[in-house]
Amino acid sequence: MVKVDLTFIDSVLDKHGHSKTKAIAIMQDVQNEYKFLPKDALSYIAEKLGMSEAELYGVATFYENFSMNEKGKYIIKVCNGTACHVRKSDDVQEALYTATGMKPEDHMSEDGLFTIERVSCLGACGLAPVCTVNDVVHPAMTPEKMYKLIAELREAEGV
Amino acid sequence: MKLNSREALQAFRSECKAALDKQKYKILVCGGSGCLAAGSKKIFDCLNNALVSRGLPVQLSIEEHVDHPEPVGLKTCGCHGLCSLAPLIRIEPAGILYMKVQPEDCDEIIERTILQGEVIDRLVYHDNGRAYSRQEDIPFYKSQTRVALANCGHIAAESIEEYIAVGGYSALEKALFDMTPDEVIAEVSDSGLRGRGGAGFPTGKKWSQVAAHKDAPVKYIVCNGDEGDPGAFMDCSIMEGDPHKMLEGMIIAGIACGATEAYIYVRAEYPNAVKRLSKAIEAAEKYGIVGDDIFGTGKSFHISISKGAGAFVCGEGSALTASIEGQRGMPRTKPPRSVDHGLFNAPTSLNNVETFANVPVIINRGAAWYKSIGTENNSGTKAFSLAGNIKNTGLIEVPMGTTLREIVFNIGGGVRTGTFKAVQIGGPSGGCLTEEHLDLPLDFDSTKKIGAIIGSGGMIVMGDDTCMVEIARFFMNFTKKESCGKCNTCREGIPRIQAILERITHGTGEMEDLDMLQELSSVVKSCSLCGLGKTATNPVLSTLKYFKDEYVAHVRDKKCPAGVCRSLCTMWIDPLKCIGCTKCARNCPTGAISGELRKPHTIDPEKCIKCRECKLGCPKHAIKEV
């Protein structure tokens, strides 16, 4: 379980003037810090903004980018926008699951290293298919390149 | 330093222009998303090192003082457009475009091109045995007309000083000092500018409706930068490559409508655009172009950025404003329209990035000039992103009414592999254009007539290796996930359609399914609440119309002609490519592959479970699905 630092949350709330209309920006800042939205943080934000937990949870779950689950050290986003799809991003995605030993329903690999996300368009369509590892873009991916990439990340971690 | 009068702005412009003109050479390194991904930042550093190590007077911004009469400008610019050949650099004044530049090329570029004035042949564009050293001569650029993207790739993207040097904010100057707000609106109306976000609503009309609320205590200008269509990146390129042009358009809109507050709603997937826009707003505030008392006129305009959080439906106006208000981004019934009750219930003009980027040039050069580009009722240009199975992927801008043939075969250079089949235009809300539409002049009205839309301008080219049924399934999968769930037909209808398409691509569809698809799609189209639902089934309806034979092949013959739908394909090893390395046989979990070492292998379709382990591992790409 992640321990939530309430003074940090307070600083975020201050930055956005404790405004209910900034709920999304506040949650974005919190997620930037923890990579996901810890439950305790959500309850605290809801209380401070004068919203019910259900209301804030409703906003958080509406948007694809907010996650309620803990993330791995490397967040790998495989683009499945139309351009990437037409250039066979499915094969890249499949190779990624094989290489990490993960299943589509897993939020994080067992060793805590990887989280796989499938996103619709990263805006680098000219280099399709692309993936990002912690927001660093890897262009023109192939299954072979994906195997190599995962092996390199593992090696860097000494696994 | 606040520019507190017209004279101050003009004096500052001459100062910036003089500084820019002093640069003998300008090296523009592309900093668009594509080139950054291909490593352009490293190229920038290497070029800088190469210049410094030779003792050349490098100037990284025109504000920087360099003790030399003719410094070399090195800058990061916006997207050049030819993303498939990234990273790109442009060298002025010769107009040379170097492509696929690697760090090890940098020394040579400085040595030979900057110092000796030679062109390095291997780095320039080659086509049909001809080398093109000048960017403007390359066929990809020759047929384009750049209006919204005019500065993209030609000035430092993050520099307000360079923007001002090339005439930036002169339209704002004109709108503030030489025109009344009504005249500004009249000019935009006369130009025939229509919303570039997809719907094509006349911009001037929208502004006049907001301006008509004379007594409203606050009015808003909102810029829609939530470019959600997968496969579209024009707005991203404008926000990243020429953010000030868009800001200028927004400020002019504010003055015309009498609005003082503005929001830019940007997708969170565009971190670069957010960064450059923030920087641009900060710079504009520094010079008093944004904020209170603009150029001493007493007028105010404040801009904030609101980051999206990943919801396609937020491209719809009322959903977008709900999202800025911090709520779930769900559309509401209209009317009232956002021009009357928009953001925080105030009159709001919501326009797209590219629409705003067209405004300054209309004010500067006049409605008549703008109308001379494009076709009747569809004036001006349109930016498109070209992607998919095409040789020159990237960003283009052409006059409205340009034919698909011109775009795909002349500018785009034709398909990359196989033969041309279709172009998906307008993303998940659009339809497909086929061979029979190649000579159709593309504009808002002509595409609507054939069941597609220009949309925001994403164009995905598809060759014969793309299965149109699978593409329809892909889009339904997307809209199913992105439906906000508010109205019944969209929430329940799309998953039903998707399930049928899923069945068909798995080979268990029946002929009645095709009628059901047609019927359901029409119901979702006519009964949904917002634009997402109303257009979501366009990909199904248009593929059914133009590629019915593919549907029939899937349903009746249990075949996927493009070899994409896995359940309908068999794995096959090309004996001409197989080198008999035995890797596939070892990878196969069911022992379906047999063959001797160094001899072509074969797959037993009875044992094969189509897991594709063999295909993914084959070093010679000899295994295919047929």
State mean pLDDT over B357-371.
97
Q: What is the C-alpha separation between B383 and B457, in angstroms, rounded?
A: 6
Percent of chain B with pLDDT over 90: 85
Residue B293's identity, in one-letter code, is: D
CB of A131 within 8 Å of a chain B CB? The answer is no
Whole-number pLDDT of residue B611: 81
Element (H, E) at B15: helix B6-22
Whole-number pLDDT of residue A158: 87
Please list the residue range(s) of chain B that carry CATH number 3.40.30.10: 16-135
More confident residue, B16 or B457: B16
Domain coordinates in residue numbering, chain A: 6-62, 74-156
Long-range contacts of B296-301 (CB under 8 A, 24+ apart): B296/B4, B296/B5, B296/B6, B296/B8, B297/B176, B297/B177, B299/B176, B299/B255, B299/B260, B300/B260, B301/B250, B301/B251, B301/B254, B301/B255, B301/B259, B301/B260, B301/B261, B301/B262
pLDDT digits (tens, 9 = 90+) for B184-200: 999 999 999 999 988 89
Q: DSSP assignment of B286-339, as one string?
A: HTTSSBSSGGGSS--BEEEEEE--S-GGGGSHHHHHHHHTTS------SSSPTT
Please list the residue range(s) of chain B that carry CATH number 3.40.50.11540: 160-371
Please list the residue range(s) of chain B that carry CATH number 3.30.70.20: 570-625
CB of A138 within 8 Å of a chain B CB? The answer is yes
pLDDT band, residue A2 (cuts 50/70/90)? confident
CATH topology assigned to domain B16-135? Glutaredoxin (3.40.30)
CB of B551 within 8 Å of a chain A CB? The answer is no
Whole-number pLDDT of residue B228: 83
CB of A94 within 8 Å of a chain B CB? The answer is yes
**B529 pLDDT above the threshold of 90:** yes
Mean pLDDT, chain B, rounded, equals: 94
Q: What is the C-alpha separation between B406 and B421, in angstroms, rounded?
A: 16
Beta-carbon-side half-sphere exposure of residue B540 (alpha carbons within 13 Å)? 36
More confident residue, B500 or A119: B500
In degrees, to the nearest 5, what angle opens at C-alpha B535 toward C-alphas B534 and B537?
A: 105
pLDDT band, residue A87 (cuts 50/70/90)? confident
State mean pLDDT over B226-244.
91
B37, A20: Cβ pair inside 8 Å?
Answer: no
CB of A128 within 8 Å of a chain B CB? The answer is yes
Whole-number pLDDT of residue B268: 84
Q: What is the CATH number of domain B570-625?
A: 3.30.70.20
Dig out the tokens for B598 from the structure: 């160094």
pLDDT digits (tens, 9 = 90+) for B381-409: 999 999 889 999 889 999 999 999 999 99
Q: What is the CATH number of domain B375-463?
A: 3.10.20.600
ipTM of the prediction greater than 0.95, yes or no: no
Whole-number pLDDT of residue A82: 85
Q: Report, at the CATH architecture level, how domain A74-156 is classified.
A: 3-Layer(aba) Sandwich (3.40)
Q: How far is CA B157 from CA B287, B289, B330, B378, in A?
A: 17, 17, 34, 29
pLDDT digits (tens, 9 = 90+) for A63-83: 999 999 999 999 999 999 888
Which of B41, B328, B396, B416 best probes binding to A when mutated, by most A CB atoms within 10 angstroms? B328
**B303 pLDDT above the threshold of 80:** yes
Q: Residue B540: CB partners within 8 Å, gap ≥ 6?
A: B472, B475, B476, B497, B501, B517, B521
Q: Residue B579: CB partners within 8 Å, gap ≥ 6?
A: B598, B619, B620, B622
Whole-number pLDDT of residue B48: 97
**From the list B308, B387, B478, which residue is nearest A125 (CB)?**
B387
**A123 pLDDT above the threshold of 80:** no
Whole-number pLDDT of residue B488: 95
| Helix/strand/coil (H/E/C) assignment for every residue in chain A | CCCCCHHHHHHHHHHCCCCHHHHHHHHHHHHHHHCCCCHHHHHHHHHHHCCCHHHHHHHHHHCCCCCCCCCCCEEEEEECCHHHHHCCHHHHHHHHHHHHCCCCCCCCCCCCCEEEEEECCCCCHHHCCCEEECCEEECCCCHHHHHHHHHHHHHHCCC
**A1 pLDDT above the threshold of 70:** no
3-state secondary structure of B3: coil
pLDDT digits (tens, 9 = 90+) for A94-120: 999 999 999 999 999 999 999 999 888
Whole-number pLDDT of residue B258: 97
CB of A48 within 8 Å of a chain B CB? The answer is no
CATH topology assigned to domain B468-555? de novo design (two linked rop proteins) (1.20.1440)
B86, A126: Cβ pair inside 8 Å?
Answer: yes
Whole-number pLDDT of residue B115: 95
Dig out the tokens for B475 from the structure: 């889009």
Whole-number pLDDT of residue B55: 94
Q: Chain B: residue nearest A122 by CA?
A: B269
**B526 pLDDT above the threshold of 90:** yes
Whole-number pLDDT of residue A86: 85
pLDDT digits (tens, 9 = 90+) for A41-55: 999 999 999 999 999
pLDDT band, residue A128 (cuts 50/70/90)? confident
CATH topology assigned to domain B160-371? Rossmann fold (3.40.50)
**For residues B489, B492, B496 and B502, what is the CA-based torsion angle, rounded to 10 degrees?**
120
